[in-house]
Chain A
Amino acid sequence: MKALGVTALDAKASSKGVVHRLGPWMAVVGLGIVIVLVMGRDVGQAVLETAYLLSKPTNWQISFSIVPHAPSDPYWWTLTAGVLNSVFLAALCLVASTAIGCVVAVLRLSANPLWAGYAAVYVQVFRNVPLILQALFWFAVISHLPAPRRAVDIGHAIYLSNRGVFLPEPTLLGWSALAAALAATVLCALHGRRAIVAGAQRARSILLAGAGVLVLAAVAWLVSERLPSLASLPVLRGFNFQGGIRIQSELLAIALGISLFAGAYIAEIVRGGFLTVPRGVVEAAQSFGLSAWAIFLKVRMPLALRSIILPMGSQYTTILKLTALGLAVGYADLFSVTILAINHSGQTIPLILIMTGCFAGLNLLIVGGVNLVNRQLAIPGYSP
C-alpha cells in the first residue's frame, strides 16, 4: 500500500520533472546551436588566425628566459618560454617559502619565548603588508646596490650589485661534488631516522658525527686550492662581471617578495597543523618511552602532515597565481609575456584564452599532485 503510494508520487514527480529537468538543458543546447550557426565561420576564422599568429616570429625580445629564446622565435615558443619562466619562479618560491615556513613554525612552537616572539613578529610583518609593495621594495633595494665595480663582495665568490647577484657556477666536477654531498646528507638522515625510530642509544651521536663530517667536508672544500676547478667564479671585466651565474634583479626581487610573503602564510599552516595533534597521543608515546626525536618523526609529524597538506596545496596554487605580479618589477612571467604578445599582435581574446588555459592546467597539476600526496599520507583509522 505504502510502496504503491510512493511509486505513484514518483511517477507524478518524474512526469512533471521531464520538462522541468530537460527544459534548461534544451535552452542551453539551443543557444549553442544558434551561436555556432551565427558565428561558426567567425570562430573558424579566428582559430585559423590564431594558428597563423602562433607560428609567426615575434621580432621582440623578452627580458628573461630559462630556455634559449631569440626575437626570431615564433609566438608559440615565446609563450612557452613565459610558461616555463612562471613555473621556474613558482618552483623556486615554493621550495623557499616552504623552507622558511617550516623553520618559522618550529621557532614559533619552540619553548623559548624569545625566538617564538621573533617568529611571531616575522609572520605579522610579512603577512600584513601587500606583496606588490614588498616586491617593489626589494626591487628598489637591489637597484640601489653599488655598481659592479664597487659590488658587495662576499668571500670573492658572491657579488651583490645593481645589475643583479653573481654566484659561482659549478663545473661538471663541482656539480658531481654537490650531488655526492647531497646523497651523503640524505643517506645520513635516513640512517639517523631509522636509528632514532629503532630507539638506538647512539642515534644522536651518529647524526652529530654525520653532520660533523659534512661540515668538515664543506670547510675543506671552501679552503682548498681546488676551488677554481669545482666552480667558475664571476670576475670583474670592465663594467660588468664575466663568468658565474647571474641572477637578474627582477627575478631576485619577485622571488624574495613571494617567498617571504608566502613563507609567513605557510608558517601559520604548519603551526596550525602541529597544534591539531592531540596531546594525549603525544603523552601515550612518551609513556612508551620513545625519545623526543622518535615522537616527532613517528607521531607528531605524520598526524600534523594530515591537516597541513590540503591548505598547503591551496597555498601552492596561490603562489602560482602570485607569479603574475612579476609584471610589477618587469619579470617575464606568463602574464607579462601574454601582455607583450597582445600589445604587439593585437590579438586579444585568443591570447587571453591561451593564458587562462595554461593557468588552469598548472593549477590542476598542483591540485592533482597534492591530492596524490594526500592519499599516500592517509592513515588507517583517520577519515580521509
Chain B
Amino acid sequence: MTIAAVTMPRLPPPQPGRLRTLVAALFKGWINCAATLLGLAALVAVGAALLDWLLIDAVWHATSDADCAAKGSGACWAVIADRHRIILFGLYPYEQQWRSALACCLALSGICLSGLPVLWRPARVLGLWGLVSAAFYALMHGGVAGLPVVATEQWGGFTLTIYLYASAVLLGFPVAVGLALMRRGQHKVAKGMAAGLVDGVRTLPTVSILFIVAVLAPFVLPPSVLPDKLSRVVLAFAMVFACYEAEIVRAGLQTIPLAQDEAGRALGLRFPARVWLILLPQGLKNTLPSSVNLFISTFKETSIIAVIGFFEFTASAQAAYGNAAWANAYLEVYLFVGLVYFLCTFALASYGAWLERRVNVGSRT
C-alpha cells in the first residue's frame, strides 16, 4: 500500500468581480450610499446643463454677442471663430500672421523633438536649437528674404507664450546647474553670491521681478546699455527659472553619496567630467518629479507678463472679448484659453510621467 502525496495546486484567493467591487465601494453603508446618490444626482443635473450649454444650444456662427443671444441660449463659440486671430497672434500685423503661425509650429516641434532621447547629446541639442531659434527669429522679426520687419513690441498671442517659455527654460537650465554647483563648491564668495541670488529671487514674487526688469530698469540704467523690453523679460524669466531649478538640482546632487565623487577622482576624472558623467545624470534623475513640476508651473507663469503690458496668450484673450461686439462672450473666451493651457500642461505632465518610468527602468524594485 502506498501513500500518494497529493499536492493541491496553489490557487489565488477568490476575487470578487470588478463590477461587484465597484458596487460595493459605491453602496456599502448608508452614509456612503447617500453620498453616491447625491453625487449621481449632481452629475446628471450639472452634466445635462453643461452639455446643453456647451454643445446642444451653442451658437457656432454669429456676428456679435447680441446675435448669439438671439440665435440660442448656449455658449457663443462664434466668438472664437471670429476672434481667434487675436487670441493666437495678439497684435502681430494681420497680413503677416502666417509667419507667426509658422514660427509657433517651428518652436513647438523644437520642444517636441527635444523630448526625444535620441537628441540628448550636447551637440545635437545645440544644433537643433541653433537652427530653430535662427529660423524663429528670421520669421518673427523679418528683415531677411524680403519679409517686412515686425518689432518685438508687436509679437503676441500663443506664439509669444511659447517663445518666452522655450527661451526661459533653454537659457535658465544651464545657469541653474552652474548656480547649484557654485553653491556646493569650496569657494566661499562664489557660494555666498549664488546663495544670495537664489534666495533673494525666491523671496520676491515673480511678477515683481519682471516688473522691475521690464518697466523700472530704464528709469535707473541708461537705455543704451539695455536690450529691448522683450529680451529683458526673457532674461529675467530665465533667471527666475534658474534660481528655482538650482535648488532642485542642488537637492538632487545631495542625494549622491560622496564616495561616488571620490571614486571618480580616484579614476583621474577632472571636475567637469565628474559633473557631466557622475553627478548630473544621477542628480537630475533623483529629482525628476520636482523638475517636471517646475517645468509645468513655469509654463503657467508665462501668463504673468500680461500684467506688464505684453499681449501674450492670457492678455490676448482679454483683448479678444474687450470690444463692443463681444463684451458678453467672456466665459467662452476664458474657457477656450483655459482649455489650451490645460492641454499643454497635461501634455507636459504626461511626458514627465513617461520620462520617470523610462529613467527608473534600472532601479525598479
A and B interact: yes
Give residues in A with beta carbon < 8 Å to B.
Answer: 21, 24-25, 27-28, 111-115, 118, 124-125, 128-134, 136-137, 140-141, 144, 321-325, 327-328, 335, 338-339, 342, 346, 348-349, 352, 355-356, 359-360, 363
B314 touches A130 (CB 8 A): yes
Contact residue range for chain B? 35 or more
* With A136-B318, A328-B307, A359-B203 as contacts: A129 and B338 at CB distance below 8 Å: yes
**For the complex, what is the distance from the CA of A128 to the CA of B293, rounded to whole Å?**
11
A136 touches B314 (CB 8 A): yes
Q: Is the interface of B mostly helix, strand, loop or mixed?
A: helix
**For the complex, what is the distance from the CA of A359 to the CA of B206, rounded to whole Å?**
12
B342 touches A352 (CB 8 A): no
**For the complex, what is the distance from the CA of A10 to the CA of B143, rounded to whole Å?**
64
B40 touches A114 (CB 8 A): yes
* With A144-B330, A359-B203 as contacts: A128 and B341 at CB distance below 8 Å: yes
* With A118-B39, A137-B334, A359-B203 as contacts: A132 and B304 at CB distance below 8 Å: yes
CB distance from A339 to the nearest CB of B (A): 7
Contact of A133 (CB < 8 Å), options: B212, B303, B346: B303
**B340 and chain A: residue at smallest CB distance:** A129
By a CB distance below 8 angstroms, the chain A residues around B205 are 321-325, 335, 359
CB distance from A101 to the nearest CB of B (A): 17
* With A112-B36, A144-B330 as contacts: A25 and B188 at CB distance below 8 Å: yes
Contact of B204 (CB < 8 Å), options: A24, A28, A325, A356: A356
CB distance from B21 to the nearest CB of A (A): 10
By a CB distance below 8 angstroms, the chain B residues around A338 are 208
Most B Cβ at <10 Å: residue of A128, A140, A328? A128
**For the complex, what is the distance from the CA of A118 to the CA of B304, rounded to whole Å?**
29
A348 touches B219 (CB 8 A): yes
Q: Does B154 contact A (CB under 8 A)?
A: no
By a CB distance below 8 angstroms, the chain B residues around A129 are 300, 338, 341-342, 345
By a CB distance below 8 angstroms, the chain B residues around A28 are 189
**For the complex, what is the distance from the CA of A144 to the CA of B203, rounded to whole Å?**
36
A112 touches B207 (CB 8 A): no
Interface positions, chain B 326-360, Cβ under 8 Å from A, are 328, 330-331, 334, 337-338, 341-342, 345-346, 349
**For the complex, what is the distance from the CA of A363 to the CA of B203, rounded to whole Å?**
7
B303 touches A130 (CB 8 A): yes
By a CB distance below 8 angstroms, the chain A residues around B216 are 342, 348, 352
* With A137-B334, A335-B208, A349-B220 as contacts: A130 and B301 at CB distance below 8 Å: yes
Question: Interface readout for B298-328 with A: 1 if CB under 8 Å, 0 if not?
Answer: 0011111011000000100110000000001
Contact of A112 (CB < 8 Å), options: B25, B296, B306, B331: B25
CB distance from B287 to the nearest CB of A (A): 14
A111 touches B25 (CB 8 A): yes
* With A27-B189, A352-B212, A356-B204 as contacts: A132 and B307 at CB distance below 8 Å: yes
**For the complex, what is the distance from the CA of A321 to the CA of B204, rounded to whole Å?**
7
Q: Does B60 contact A (CB under 8 A)?
A: no
Q: Is the interface of A mostly helix, strand, loop or mixed?
A: helix
Q: Does B197 contact A (CB under 8 A)?
A: no
Known: A115-B39, A144-B328. 6 other contacts (CB 8 A): A24-B187, A112-B39, A114-B40, A129-B341, A130-B304, A355-B208
By a CB distance below 8 angstroms, the chain A residues around B307 are 132, 325, 327-328
A360 touches B203 (CB 8 A): yes
By a CB distance below 8 angstroms, the chain A residues around B188 are 21, 24-25
A128 touches B345 (CB 8 A): yes
Contact of B208 (CB < 8 Å), options: A115, A130, A136, A324: A324
**For the complex, what is the distance from the CA of A325 to the CA of B212, rounded to whole Å?**
15
**For the complex, what is the distance from the CA of A25 to the CA of B187, rounded to whole Å?**
11
B36 touches A114 (CB 8 A): yes
By a CB distance below 8 angstroms, the chain A residues around B318 are 136
CB distance from A151 to the nearest CB of B (A): 18
By a CB distance below 8 angstroms, the chain A residues around B43 are 114
Q: Does B277 contact A (CB under 8 A)?
A: no
By a CB distance below 8 angstroms, the chain A residues around B301 are 130
By a CB distance below 8 angstroms, the chain A residues around B35 are 112, 114-115
**For the complex, what is the distance from the CA of A329 to the CA of B100, rounded to whole Å?**
29
By a CB distance below 8 angstroms, the chain B residues around A342 are 216
A327 touches B342 (CB 8 A): no
Q: Does B22 contact A (CB under 8 A)?
A: yes
**For the complex, what is the distance from the CA of A141 to the CA of B341, rounded to whole Å?**
20
Q: Does B26 contact A (CB under 8 A)?
A: yes
Q: Does B129 contact A (CB under 8 A)?
A: no
By a CB distance below 8 angstroms, the chain A residues around B337 are 133
Contact of A335 (CB < 8 Å), options: B187, B207, B220: B207
* With A112-B26, A130-B300 as contacts: A325 and B207 at CB distance below 8 Å: yes
Interface positions, chain B 21-44, Cβ under 8 Å from A, are 22, 25-26, 28, 32, 35-36, 39-40, 43
Q: Does B211 contact A (CB under 8 A)?
A: yes
In the A-B complex, the 10 residue pairs with the smallest Cβ-Cβ separation, listed nearest first, are: A324-B205, A130-B303, A24-B189, A321-B205, A130-B300, A128-B345, A114-B39, A140-B330, A137-B334, A129-B338
Contact of B346 (CB < 8 Å), options: A25, A111, A128: A128
**For the complex, what is the distance from the CA of A125 to the CA of B301, rounded to whole Å?**
16
**For the complex, what is the distance from the CA of A321 to the CA of B297, rounded to whole Å?**
14
By a CB distance below 8 angstroms, the chain B residues around A324 are 205, 207-208
By a CB distance below 8 angstroms, the chain A residues around B346 are 124, 128
Question: Interface readout for B135-159 with A: 1 if CB under 8 Å, 0 if not?
Answer: 0000000000000000000000000
A133 touches B341 (CB 8 A): yes
**B188 and chain A: residue at smallest CB distance:** A24
**For the complex, what is the distance from the CA of A132 to the CA of B310, rounded to whole Å?**
14
